[in-house]
Every structure is written in C-alpha cells, then in structure tokens.
Structure 1
Amino acid sequence: MTVSRKIFTSKMRANQIGGEQLRGLSEEEIKTVLDPILSFHLQFSEEVEYYEKLKRRELPSIENFKGIGHILIASRIALGMTQRDLASRLGVSDSQVSRDERNEYFGITVERAARVAEALGLRLHTKVELSGDVATNRELESA
C-alpha cells in the first residue's frame, strides 16, 4: 500500500476527508471511492515524472520504433514548441501535425520520423542486432 493510499484510508476510517464527516462507509465502499482517485493520482505522478525527465533531456530508449510517436510528441512539449512551430519547421500545416500527434504518429515511416526528430533537434541512434529467434531458410528446409 502506498503512502497516499495509507493516508486516505486512515482518514476514511476516521470518517474525515476535507473536514467533512463520512458516516457508515464499509471498507468496500471506501475502496470503491478511493481506487479511481488513487489510480488517477498514480498515472498523473508517472506522467509528471516522465515530463520532468524529458525536461532534463533524459529520453527513454525504444526498441523497433515502438513508442517513437510518444517520444516525438513529448519532446516537442518538453521543448516548449507548439504544433504550429513544428509545422513551420516541417513545411506542413498545423492541422497535419495535430492529426499526426492525435494518432501518435502511427504508421510513420523511418524517413518521416527522422525529419520530425531533426526539426525537434533530436538525434536518433540506431543499433541493429540479430536476435537469433528467426529460423533461416536452410534451417526450415532441413526440418
């Protein structure tokens, strides 16, 4: 149980939240009330932490371009750049950037991701490794 949950739960048990008296709530009712609030709080805290890391220029690594859209959007926001600013740098309309971000750049090509990253002042590093999980044609033929 997190510290926040402990504090809320103890106050709920004491039947006091925000100076208001709460009477006759069962443990299950308390849990029903608290769970969505605490879940939102946790999600919000994680997003703030992620944003603060971006502001410190601590970008997460990604694998196989999964999450590239999220990084591009978050980087733009962390840099204090508007969608209009990015659109101007890319030579596209504001609405195009808005659509791309709304879809988290789903289906973006490598070339386009590189253009957006460059417009944001990001450098993408690529490392290619063979995973060894894929059978070769010879292995398939001999099986």
Structure 2
Amino acid sequence: MIASPYFWIALLAGALAISGGSYYYGGKHARDAAKAAQFVELSDAVGKAIAKIKTITKELDKYEATREKVRVVYRTIKEKADANIDKNPGYAECGLDADGLRLYNARPADIESGAPIPDNSVPGSPPGVGREAVHDPEEQHREG
C-alpha cells in the first residue's frame, strides 16, 4: 500500500493544498497587518493635524481679538477727529506748497518727542544704516 502511486499522489496533493492555503492566508494576514499599520500612522497624523489646527485657531483668535481692540481705538480716534473737524471747518483749508513742504521736511528734530533728525539715507533703510543718498535731499527737490 505504501508503494502504491495513488498514495504518493494523494500525499503530494494534500501537501500542495496545505502549502497553498498557508501561502494564501499568510499573504492575507500580511496585507491586513500593512493596512493596520497605515491606519495607525494615519490616526497619528490626523491627531497631530488636529492639534496644529487648534494651536493655529488659538493664535488666530488672539490676533482677531487684538485687531478688534485696534479697530475700536481707531474708530474712537476717527470719531473724535471727525467731530473736531466738524467743529473747526478751517482745518479743511490747510495745505502746503512745495516750499512749505521742503521747510517741513528740513525741520530740526523735536527734542521732547524724540523725533530723529532726517539723514540722507535711502528711503526704507533704518536710520543711520545703509547707503547714503546720491544727492542732497534739497537738491533732489530742486531737480524735480
């Protein structure tokens, strides 16, 4: 009976069936494990994104609160200025000609307010730092 070829064929078919089934279920479990790992990574990423969104939302709320305070102050100052202009209509007739503007720009610094003396630096650079202007500002006014 052991020497029967049908026994060996049946034994070989059984071994192939067990090996094939094991291979199939092993691959299925590997795919499931990979999906589970992806799910864990995705859950972590979503948690981090939610935390970041909460932080950004807090910062935006703080910014908007500060902005609203500035709006209230600006609105109050603007209303006072408008009321002052309504009381004093002569303010609307104020103006400077080219010479008056040149004199205003060349005025000395106010010691009490701490306003800086205008230097000949290029506009947009910090005071006392950067390149010097090519021409004296008064000459630039005359040239223009």
TM category, shorter: under 0.3
TM-score (norm 1): 0.28
TM-score (norm 2): 0.27
Instruction: State which structure, 1 or 2, has the greater radius of gyration over its C-alpha atoms.
Output: 2
Q: Which one has the bigger helix percentage?
A: 2
- 1 or 2 for the larger relative contact order (CA 8 Å, sep ≥6)? 1
